[in-house]
């Protein structure tokens, strides 16, 4: 039995409800839905990944060493299933109301101790960027993350690591009320080199 099969069939321990998050965005002339990647999405996902390679290479880690695009897709499907089963992640892809792939938003490393928190990352297909879709996708994911359970994930705050030269993602964070937190930085292996990322944080409104 392969490692992928083991990941896909692992038992649930703290399962997060597998919810579709729908986004109504009339000002963009499109509706969006955030859902888990499925096997039938492979063609659209791989095409977008290949078209976005140059767009992503400085900001977002994708394929592992010698990993094909198809294997990367399979790993993302498996990680989404695992995240829901264990309650440690909420990993979703965004599609428009015509069913076209738009991008990915991931809530990773969900911790529920004294402080309920998680990490957030996203990418938008190069062909769909610059239209405000990224802001809408991230806003919907953050709202879901900070909403009380069982409707949302019940988190107290989310953290996004953003490369300081990634102006588009910085604008998204600013529009959505994230604040830079100079106490923290993160380093991600992107394009074969370690890149420093600034910390941006958004907390739930209490009371």
Mean pLDDT over 159-174 rounds to: 92
Task: State the pLDDT at residue 2.
Answer: 31
Q: Which of 79-88, 89-98, 135-144, 195-204 has the lowest mean pLDDT?
A: 195-204
**Structure-model confidence comparison of residues 142 and 164, the more confident one:** 142
Largest separation between any pair of C-alpha atoms in the chain:
50
Domains observed in the chain: 3-203 (3.40.630.30)
What's the confidence (pLDDT) of residue 24? Answer: 60
pTM of the entire predicted model? 0.83
pLDDT in tens, 171-193: 999 999 999 988 776 666 565 66
What percent of the chain has pLDDT above 70?
Answer: 81
């Amino acid at each position: 039995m392969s490692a992928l099969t083991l990941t896909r069939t692992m038992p649930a321990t703290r399962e997060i409800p597998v919810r579709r998050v729908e986004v109504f965005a009339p000002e963009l002339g499109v509706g969006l839905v955030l859902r888990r990647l499925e096997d039938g999405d492979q063609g659209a996902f791989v095409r977008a990944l290949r078209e976005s390679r140059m767009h992503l290479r400085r900001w977002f880690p994708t394929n592992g060493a010698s990993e094909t695009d198809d294997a990367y897709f399979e790993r993302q499907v498996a990680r989404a299933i695992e995240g829901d089963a264990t309650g440690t992640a909420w990993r979703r892809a965004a599609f428009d109301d015509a069913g076209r792939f738009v991008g990915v938003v991931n809530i990773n490393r969900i911790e529920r101790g004294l402080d309920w928190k998680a990490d957030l990352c996203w990418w938008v297909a190069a062909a769909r960027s610059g239209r405000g879709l990224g802001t809408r996708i991230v806003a919907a994911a953050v709202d879901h993350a900070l909403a009380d359970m069982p409707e949302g994930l019940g988190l107290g705050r989310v953290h996004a690591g953003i490369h300081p030269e990634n102006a588009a993602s910085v604008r998204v964070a600013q529009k959505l009320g994230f604040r830079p937190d100079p106490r923290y930085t993160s380093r991600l292996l992107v394009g074969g080199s370690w890149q420093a990322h600034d910390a941006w944080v958004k907390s739930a409104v209490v009371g």
